[in-house]
A and B are shown apart, each in its own frame.
Chain A
Amino acid sequence: MESNSVLTIEDVNKTFGGLRALSDINLDIEEGKTHAIIGPNGAGKSTLLNVCIGRLAPDTGSVTFNGKNMVGLQPHEINHAGMVRVFQTPEIFPDLTLLQNVMIPALAKRDGMFCFNVFKDMRNQTDIRDEADHALEDVGLIKFRNNKADTISRGDKRRLELAMGLIQHPKLLLLDEPTAGMSRHDTNRTIELLQKIKERGMTKVIIEHDMHVVFSLADRISVLAQGEIIASGAPDEIRGNPIVKEAYLGGEEL
């Protein structure tokens, strides 16, 4: 089990003032699996993602990705290590077109952290553009490809950001509530899309409130409550776990 884990979180602690946001978190994300992290609001889910992606430094503990320690690295270095995050509030380039929005991460993949390519013409980057078109088609936004990104709806922005993450073919994709704020129809389309990616073997960590999404995608579920992992296991184990019902689901039947 240790051998094929992509991301290993060991003994991570994080406090904000007096509040223990994360206490002694230990988590293994296995390659090719979809790992869901659920928990009530304020349980520390987003903090955990922020620690993984380098936005926050843990007080103690280590985050090992692909055999390398991630703590203290810059966000762009973590990206190039192969860990990509899709944010909860859409983080896109509002002044650029959808096509440019998706081409930028593809350029990051090709050009690296810095590349002074002023002698090339953006219009001749056909390989990158075809890739971007393909990614936009995947998320169903191809019809808006030449529109400015701040003109599309919030749900569309979230799918645009998903396309921006997917085009980099990350080893690990971190999704922060990928369907929050989406209509039922859009949610189902996103689930379909994520299932398709899963078939391609991409490892994912999903934070999600929508149990329908969690149980249709997750191979493993970890339950976070008040900064601690109170249960971790296959979906069926979690569904039947009395502690989880007590702490999170409030006794509600799943």
Chain B
Amino acid sequence: MKKILSTQSNLNVMLIFSAVVLSAPLWLTPIGANYPDLLQKFAIFGVFAIGFNILFGLTGYLSFGHAAFLGIGSYSAVWSFKLLTMNVVPAIIFGVVLSGLFAAVIGFISLRRSGIYFSILTLAFAQMSYNLAYSVLTPITNGETGLQLTLHDPRVLDAAAAEQSGIPSTTLFGLSMSGYSGFYFCASILILAFFVSLKIFRSPFGVKLLAIKSNQTRMKYTGFNTRPYLLTAFIISGMYAGLAGTLMAVTDPLAGAERMQWTASGEVVLMTILGGTGTLIGPLLGVGIIKYFENIFSALNEQTLYVVFDFLPEFLQSFLVLITHPFVGEGWHLTLGALFMIVVIFLPGGVMEGINRLSGFVKRKYFSDDSGADSKAESRLQTSDAGGE
């Protein structure tokens, strides 16, 4: 799919991508994932993973602290809702700008080291932010309870509006941001985020980032000052995470410290690696798989399994249910873990590598006249979508 993508013009890629994203409620219905809450999650974590991939996929710097920016985005959005207005536009601007500033500081310090030391530094920063939000900064973050909207919030820009009873919901110039309108708003942001990522991947800037990943020393002797390149990528990626954080607050206006915990940073790493690091679509596939497992697979229980294996003789049915039931419901982590291991061992390039191999195989098998050597050479180039051609 990516191979197909990499030869298409930006416009075609964007048309296909938008069509797929906007029609998600249709094609997710058969697999039981068509409800607004989950759709919003897909889109929001999609933004998060796309941004993470700009850092990890292009420069190879593995950040274990991106959840910090997620939290910063959420807190600033909720404060914007509390103090200014329930309109989401200022909230998003605040969230993205503030997380960008934090990313500049954290990146400036962490990027003095590379490899595992960089990862540890970012992890340390994220855990510091988490603990600050949890305890010391309680006046700003409302500590354990989490930051919520209240009836007494000033909302200075909304003051002119009629007196409301109860806590208002977030809006986009009057359009309520819950349910499907919330999803379509997040989906539009996702499409925009994907477009920016596509531009970066295909720009000279993106290819230079790939070159830094490939051989940073050589890059320095080639005449590039690599530090500002890395810092820029880190800030962009942090702003994406901040954007995802604000979207979380947009769809559900509360912010808690647990959003900054290291498990949240780890989740986006897993998503990116599972889907395919450094590919445009891979991280989104990773998001889809993990969020699907978390929300749908975890809801399956023994009863559903009996229904699934109903067509079998009774002893076989109960035997299969016995074997499979630890892997569903509460045990969905087990299935996900096994899937992750299989992918990492057999497909180091993630699910995208599997798709590429499969499409290469199909091409060779059924369209053998367009020489097999060609597609082989192509698949060797697959690590980067950024083309010199």
State whether B207 touches A103 (Cβ < 8 A): yes
State whether A93 touches B202 (Cβ < 8 A): no
Main secondary structure of the interface of B (DSSP, over half): helix
Given contacts A74-B225, A113-B225, A123-B387, contact A104 B381 (CB under 8 A): no
B228 to chain A, nearest CB (A): 5
What is the 8 Å Cβ interface bit string for chain A, positions 71-87, against chain B (1 contact, 0 not)?
00011100110001101
Of B203, B214, B223, the residue contacting A96 (CB under 8 A) is: B214
Which B residue sits closest to A164, measured CB to CB?
B222
Does B229 touch A at the CB level, under 8 Å?
yes
Does B217 touch A at the CB level, under 8 Å?
yes
Interface-lining segment among A30-38, A143-151, A218-226? A143-151
Does A217 touch B at the CB level, under 8 Å?
no
Query: Could you tell me the distance between the alpha carbons of A118 and B200 in the complex, rounded to whole angstroms?
Result: 5
Query: Could you tell me the distance between the alpha carbons of A118 and B213 in the complex, rounded to whole angstroms?
Result: 17
Q: What is the count of residue pairs linking A and B with beta-carbon distances less than 8 angstroms?
A: 126
State whether B204 touches A123 (Cβ < 8 A): no
A114 to chain B, nearest CB (A): 5
State whether B221 touches A91 (Cβ < 8 A): yes
Does B112 touch A at the CB level, under 8 Å?
no
Given contacts A76-B220, A122-B387, contact A107 B225 (CB under 8 A): no
State whether A108 touches B213 (Cβ < 8 A): no
Does A109 touch B at the CB level, under 8 Å?
yes
The count of chain A contact residues (Cβ–Cβ below 8 Å) is 46
A115 to chain B, nearest CB (A): 7
Given contacts A76-B223, A97-B388, A108-B223, contact A117 B204 (CB under 8 A): yes
Considering the complex, which residues of chain B in the window 35-74 have a beta carbon less than 8 Å from any beta carbon of chain A?
A: none
Query: Could you tell me the distance between the alpha carbons of A84 and B222 in the complex, rounded to whole angstroms?
Result: 8
Does B199 touch A at the CB level, under 8 Å?
yes
B317 to chain A, nearest CB (A): 50
Does A129 touch B at the CB level, under 8 Å?
yes
Does B176 touch A at the CB level, under 8 Å?
no
- Residues of chain B within 8 A of A168, CB atoms compared: 222-223
Query: Could you tell me the distance between the alpha carbons of A113 and B386 in the complex, rounded to whole angstroms?
Result: 21
Which B residue sits closest to A102, measured CB to CB?
B388
Considering the complex, which residues of chain A in the window 229-249 have a beta carbon less than 8 Å from any beta carbon of chain B?
A: none
Query: Could you tell me the distance between the alpha carbons of A74 and B220 in the complex, rounded to whole angstroms?
Result: 8
Given contacts A104-B222, A105-B222, contact A96 B211 (CB under 8 A): yes
Which B residue sits closest to A75, measured CB to CB?
B220
Of A53, A107, A132, the residue contacting B221 (CB under 8 A) is: A53
Does A92 touch B at the CB level, under 8 Å?
yes
Of B215, B220, B225, B229, the residue contacting A92 (CB under 8 A) is: B215
Of A94, A122, A147, the residue contacting B207 (CB under 8 A) is: A122
What is the 8 Å Cβ interface bit string for chain A, positions 113-154, against chain B (1 contact, 0 not)?
111111111110100010010000000000000111001000
State whether A115 touches B207 (Cβ < 8 A): no
Does A111 touch B at the CB level, under 8 Å?
yes
State whether A104 touches B207 (Cβ < 8 A): yes
- Residues of chain A within 8 A of B220, CB atoms compared: 74-76
Does A179 touch B at the CB level, under 8 Å?
no
Given contacts A91-B221, A148-B381, contact A107 B208 (CB under 8 A): yes
- Residues of chain B within 8 A of A97, CB atoms compared: 381, 388
Query: Could you tell me the distance between the alpha carbons of A87 and B214 in the complex, rounded to whole angstroms?
Result: 16
- Residues of chain A within 8 A of B265, CB atoms compared: none
- Residues of chain A within 8 A of B200, CB atoms compared: 118
Of A84, A113, A116, A132, the residue contacting B205 (CB under 8 A) is: A116
Query: Could you tell me the distance between the alpha carbons of A122 and B384 in the complex, rounded to whole angstroms?
Result: 13
B345 to chain A, nearest CB (A): 21
Does B113 touch A at the CB level, under 8 Å?
no
State whether B221 touches A147 (Cβ < 8 A): no
Of A80, A118, A132, A147, the residue contacting B206 (CB under 8 A) is: A118
Does A8 touch B at the CB level, under 8 Å?
no
Which A residue sits closest to B236, measured CB to CB?
A118
A119 to chain B, nearest CB (A): 7
- Residues of chain A within 8 A of B205, CB atoms compared: 115-118
State whether A148 touches B380 (Cβ < 8 A): yes
Query: Could you tell me the distance between the alpha carbons of A2 and B377 in the complex, rounded to whole angstroms?
Result: 53
Query: Would you mind naming 30 contact pairs between A and B with Cβ atoms under 8 Å apart?
Result: A74-B220, A76-B221, A76-B225, A79-B221, A79-B222, A91-B218, A91-B221, A95-B210, A95-B213, A95-B384, A96-B207, A96-B210, A97-B381, A103-B207, A104-B207, A104-B208, A104-B211, A105-B223, A113-B223, A114-B224, A117-B204, A118-B206, A119-B203, A120-B204, A121-B10, A121-B203, A146-B377, A146-B388, A147-B381, A168-B222
List of 5 A-B pairs having minimum Cβ-Cβ separation, nearest first: A79-B223, A108-B223, A93-B214, A113-B225, A95-B214
Contacts beyond the supplied A91-B218, A99-B388: 15 A-B pairs with Cβ under 8 Å:
A74-B225, A76-B224, A80-B223, A84-B221, A95-B384, A97-B388, A100-B210, A104-B222, A107-B207, A108-B223, A121-B199, A122-B202, A123-B387, A123-B388, A147-B381
